[in-house]
Amino acid sequence: MRVLVVEDDVVVQQQITEALTTSGYVVDAASDGNDAWFMGDTEDYDAVILDLGLPALDGLSVLSRWRQSDNRMPVLVLTARDTWRDKVQGLRTGADDYLAKPFEMEEMLARLEALIRRSTGHANPIVEVGPLSLDPAGRQININGNRLELTTLEYRMLAYMMHHEGNVLSKAVLIEHIYDQDFDRDSNVIEVLVNRLRKKVGADLIRTHRGQGYQLTVSAHSGS
């Protein structure tokens, strides 16, 4: 999952980035509103953590521009402001959730997990796809009740595919959501990851659509 962190406080930005990275996210960061607006408008993020008190362009203006351009990525607003009017304004501008500073990283992570789940149509905190179950809080994926031993990249890829069950995901999309920006997109690493995952979850769960990408689907597993 790729997350954009928009925070002008260098220390806070670093703390959030480290917490997200440790939890398995790919993180991009911006320190002012203009950069944030451009990045959110041109890149495909699974979620955004957005501070309101930004230089160049304030957070509410950034959020408003995203929503006006029909950008639907979930946005968790951070702000030092803690009055009900500020919360209402942020939510009415298009925020999906609100967290006032100072906050605990664990709460931020829990809210972010919930936003991403809901945005992909999963209400339950445990994402289930056939024999697979994903616990984002514990960064754990089980198959038939048994824990899978996964590398960081395997976990990122399988978790992303589980959130987007049934969708055919291109190599470019998978690379964008599980790798840092400086990754060589001409690499065959996606094929390698798919082969490794098939050995761990069963070849019939991940279907190849030639020229299009890969699909995690229960129907493939069931043979229908």
Q: Which CATH number goes with the domain that contains 24?
A: 3.40.50.2300
Whether 76 and 132 map to the same domain: the answer is no
Average pLDDT, consecutive stretches of 10 residues, N- to C-terminus, the chain (224 residues): 96 96 94 96 95 92 96 92 78 92 94 94 91 93 96 94 95 88 69 95 93 85 43
Question: How many residues are there in the chain?
Answer: 224
Residue 75 C-alpha from the chain's centroid:
11
pLDDT at 159: 95
Whether 24 and 93 map to the same domain: the answer is yes
pLDDT at 224: 35
Residues 33, 16: Cα–Cα separation, whole Å: 18
Assign residue 133 a region (left: φ > 0; alpha: ψ between -120 and 50; beta: otherwise): beta
pLDDT at 82: 67
Whether 146 and 53 map to the same domain: the answer is no
In sign, the C-alpha dihedral spanning 97, 100, 104, 105 is positive
Instruction: Among 55, 84, 119, give the residue marking a domain's end.
Output: 119
Instruction: Please state the pTM of the whole predicted model.
Output: 0.87
Reduced to 3 states (helix: H, G, I; strand: E, B; else coil), residue 35 is: helix
pLDDT at 80: 78
Instruction: Among 119, 140, 167, give the residue marking a domain's end.
Output: 119
Show the domain range for 111: 2-119
pLDDT at 41: 95
Whether 81 and 136 map to the same domain: the answer is no
- Closest CA relative to residue 3, chosen from 58, 46, 57: 46
Query: What is the CB neighbour count within 10 angstroms for residue 128?
Result: 14
Whether 173 and 112 map to the same domain: the answer is no
Which residues fall within 8 angstroms of residue 138, CB to CB, at 6 or more apart?
Answer: none
pLDDT at 168: 96
Whether 49 and 149 map to the same domain: the answer is no
pLDDT at 183: 60
- Give the chain's domain count: 2
